[in-house]
Amino acid sequence: MTPWIDVKDKLPEKNHRILVYVDPKHTFANPLYDAFYDKYGFVDYRMNWPLENVTHWMPFPKPPGEKCQDM
């Protein structure tokens, strides 16, 4: 798994889908968001609202390549 990147160290490329972590002290929901970064900052990918207090990000994970098989 790709490690989390601190926003103080590096920002993502603009308009690429990413996974972000929001400081849990500043959110009422799950601190993980499907997002992108644009000229306005971090934005929720599905709802298109700005995200504040993002502390870390990582490239969006690739979907699973194979189905799990029952044993």
The chain-wide mean pLDDT, for the chain, equals 87
Span 12-44, pLDDT tens digits: 999 999 999 999 887 777 899 999 999 999 999
Q: How many separate domains does the chain show?
A: 1
Q: How many whole angstroms separate alpha carbon 10 and alpha carbon 8?
A: 6
Q: Is residue 37 part of a domain?
A: yes
Q: Is residue 71 part of a domain?
A: no
Q: Is residue 66 part of a domain?
A: no
- Spell out the residues 6+ positions from residue 24 whose beta carbon is closer than 8 angstroms to its own: 31
Q: Is residue 11 part of a domain?
A: yes
DSSP 20: E
Q: What percent of the chain has pLDDT over 70?
A: 89
pLDDT of residue 62: 80
Q: What are phi and psi of 12, to 5 degrees?
A: -75, 165
Q: Is residue 65 part of a domain?
A: no
pTM, rounded to two decimals: 0.79
Q: Is residue 53 part of a domain?
A: yes
Domain extent for 24: 5-59
